[in-house]
Homo-oligomer: A and B are copies of this chain.
Amino acid sequence: MNKKKSLTLQDIADELGITKMTVSRYFREPERVAKATRERIAKIVENQGFVQNRAPSLMSKAITNTIGVVIPSLSNQVFASLVEGIESITQPAGFDILLAHSGYDARVEERKVAMLLSYRVDGLILCETSHTSKTINMIKQSGIPVVEAMELPESPLDMAVGMDHQRASYDTVSEMVRRGCRHVIYLAARLDNRTRLRQKGYEQAMWDAGLTPSSVATPFHSSFTQGQALMRQALNNYNKIDGVFCTNDDLAIGAMQYCLEKGIRVPYDMAVVGFNALDIGQAMKPRLTSVVTPREQIGIKSAELLLAAISGSRDTQRTFDLGYSLTEGKSW
């Protein structure tokens, strides 16, 4: 079974003794086609499982009604919510999403952006702020609008929607200190930019409280078992820890489990705080305290801005801070 020569508008037109133009109209402005003709076309389309070839309209039309989205990971609830937010806007607007993932690697992002641009997407949403120069070059050349989602880079490529990770971190760690923690350690996995920003906020908060920041990191990407390992390492390296601030909930859960295993009581002996407020943290005993990131809102706002820019009506504001909040659990 080879790839068949696919059915075309012309094939349908021939079968009905009309021209492909009428069939083309059937799809784009059906009310312009006589009801009888419409039904005859519909019948063939149904029976034969006809799907239009998108290529010619990519060529002849300026707008393709597609946007490209590059997320770093396919298994992170954070980006799932982000994409959900995006789709809630793009789908009713008749836009398709081409999705790609970069594995947190700027060179992979470059490859994926090139692929998306080869399909002449009308806009891009990226979830990272560090890009290769080739990526930047290609995007500039294409002239399409871009939203960088999640962070608030100092000089965005174009537009940015996100929150201030460093500040969220600063505030949260400050509150840990206010609640009595004196030796808070920062646990970090593979260092992407958001991890670094959160670390900065943590360090600042510690210095400002007259305390000394210390962190434990792993080059592996974050996971529950890495969280365990980091907690073990932290306990080995430092002997007066009374709190850990984790770059995300995966690590926090792992850390909390390790404490449980070693008889370290959370929060009495050890405060554990995470970032992102995933569902898992809510199911834990004790319930995890975590920074809530407005990821679905970020997706919605990003898509709205992008569609506005595509249709030519840009906001003068380029950067949108959607803030953050906190789920207060029982882990601090």
Contacts and interface: CB of A to CB of B under 8 A. Distances in A.
Interface of A: 1-4, 6-7, 46-56, 58-59, 62-63, 71, 73-77, 79-80, 83, 96-101, 114-115, 117-120, 122, 134, 136-145, 158, 223-225, 227-228, 253-254, 257, 260-261, 279-280, 282-285, 309-310, 312, 314
Given A227-B283, A283-B257, A2 B143 contact: yes
B260 A141 contact: no
A287 to B, nearest CB: 10
Nearest to A48: B141
Given A74-B83, A122-B3, A53 B49 contact: no
A280 B280 contact: yes
Contacts of A139: 49
Contacts of A4: 141-143
Given A6-B142, A49-B134, A63-B3, A99 B99 contact: yes
B76 A120 contact: no
A2 B312 contact: yes
Contacts of A56: 55, 59
- This protein's copies in its complex: 2
Nearest to A228: B283
Given A80-B73, A225-B279, A283-B225, A59 B49 contact: no
Contacts of A6: 120, 141-143
Given A4-B142, A51-B142, A224-B284, 14 more contacts: A3-B122, A7-B141, A49-B137, A49-B138, A49-B140, A50-B141, A55-B55, A58-B58, A74-B74, A75-B77, A75-B80, A99-B100, A228-B283, A254-B283
16 contacts: A3-B142, A3-B144, A4-B141, A6-B143, A46-B137, A50-B141, A51-B114, A55-B55, A58-B58, A74-B74, A74-B80, A74-B83, A75-B75, A97-B100, A99-B101, A257-B285
Given A3-B63, A54-B118, A280-B280, A49 B224 contact: no
